[in-house]
Amino acid sequence: MRGLLGKIAVVTGGLGDLGYATAQRLNEEGCKVVLVDVQADNEGKAKGINAGFVQVDISNEADVKKACDSIAANTGNAHILVNTAACFIFKGVDATGADWAQINAVNIGGTSLMAKYIVPQMRKNGGGSIINFSSVSGFIGQSNFATYNATKFAIRGLTKCWAQDLAPDGIRVNTLCPGYIYTKAFINSCEKLGLDIEEENRRASAMHLLNRQGRVEEVAAAAAFLASDDASFITGSDLLVDGGYLAK
């Protein structure tokens, strides 16, 4: 089980496609999983994989502290934190102050707040693994994506700083960077931008050397690797799961 058996894993954005797939994979490898999401679990997804669930807005510090205290009290101190939760606002120089405040509060602030209150639990366990989700958008410029890309660049910077800060505690911190993955978020983004979904899927597929978009299971497998003892000598790194997107 690669050292994952019995470990407690907290997955933000746990009801989303990437978060839920990651939670499923960690559960299959023996972890006790807690899903964290701003939405209510009306479909009973957590129950479907025998996971805990906490509804919380990760941009609200008081709520995050309460949620993390609840996880420690009801499930135990976390060994693994997977930050998949994200706000999707795609704008360029026309972005408003409200746009920046919203996306920064979730993508940067929320990721940071979850780490702030989970790290003490990891210290009690003698170590842990934090996996922050960035993107290929955290490496390149994309037209009218300034708001989103800026936060994904920032996630990579946070990861490298935290890797240095937390190494003495035995806590590894890495960034997982997917390419285009066929998810509900992808579909929703197309709709927001007024794009034809099938046409955009073909266009996105052609951007990758493997000529397709990725599957959520492939990203989840990479997350499980970074959480496991198989990655015990990896910290401060960016793991690309991008089908060769950045190699073109």
Q: What residues act catalytically?
A: 148
Q: Is 93 exposed, middle or buried (0-12, 13-18, 19+ CB in 10 A)?
A: exposed
Please give the structure tokens belonging to residue 239: 């793991």
Helices (H), the chain: 17-28, 45-48, 61-74, 97-103, 111-125, 146-166, 184-192, 197-206, 216-227
d(CA 101, CA 128): 30
d(CA 22, CA 14): 8
- Tell me the residue length of the chain: 248
d(CA 191, CA 171): 39
H or E segment and range at residue 41: none
In angstroms, what CA-CA distances link 20 with 10, 12, 198? 11, 9, 24
DSSP string over 148-164: HHHHHHHHHHHHHHHHH
